[in-house]
Structure 1
Amino acid sequence: MSRQRTRDTQPEILVRRELHRRGLRYRVDAKLPGMPRRRADLLFTGAKVAVFVDGCFWHACPKHKTAPMNNGSWWAAKLARNVERDHETRDHLSSLGWTVLRVWEHEDMKHAASDIERVVRAAAGG
């Protein structure tokens, strides 16, 4: 697990490049307000939009979720806690007036960038 990337994954880089090409600027791997030890993949501070690019395995994607055979009960609890943490983060940021967007790693990143751009521009007022 220590070799797993926590940032700069290929889906993150693809969506970041597309958003940058479209003229949007953001913070990468940024700390979340009021949540120590939690970070967003992309943070649009002016528009108050947080973007998370979630891996299908680590965040239990409904389409691609898998259950490891070895030490299955430990993994089930671990992955369930990841999903629970995602919900806690979303609820906390929403209570502060932030918009939270989640993108699955299997999604088309150009399409995801279009969705993100639409939300950010609307939140920024233009």
Structure 2
Amino acid sequence: INQVREPFNTSRVAQAAAIAALEDQEFVRECRNRNAEGIAYLQNELERLGLESFPAHGNFIMLDVRRPSGEVFQELLRKGVIIRAGHHKYPTYIRVSVGSQPQNELFIRALEQVLGAEAAKVRL
């Protein structure tokens, strides 16, 4: 079964918790606001680094790292950051979910390290 299951599937307990969360509209608004703030932060940081991304309309950003996405995935994974490697039509793109502010900052720091001198040069 593990060979065909989705990598980020959910349990029945998690699905029940999601239904309960949707009933709490204040919680939903708070999540939307935090997500919008996270997207704005990530987009600003990606712009600072000179990286292009697709417009974000959900809880993730797809960005061009100008390197094979599989390599970037492996390097970020070694730093404790899990992203998704790009789609076959976009071999240099990665997909990163919007997280909490500390998680978003960790991703940006790790991405700067992975991209190395190129990212540091843009920062100056």
Higher helix share: 2
TM-score interval (norm. to shorter): 0.3 to 0.5
Q: Scaled by the length of structure 2, what TM-score is found?
A: 0.35
Higher strand share: 1
Higher Cα Rg, which structure = 2
Of structures 1 and 2, the one with the larger relative CO (CA 8 A, separation 6+) is 1
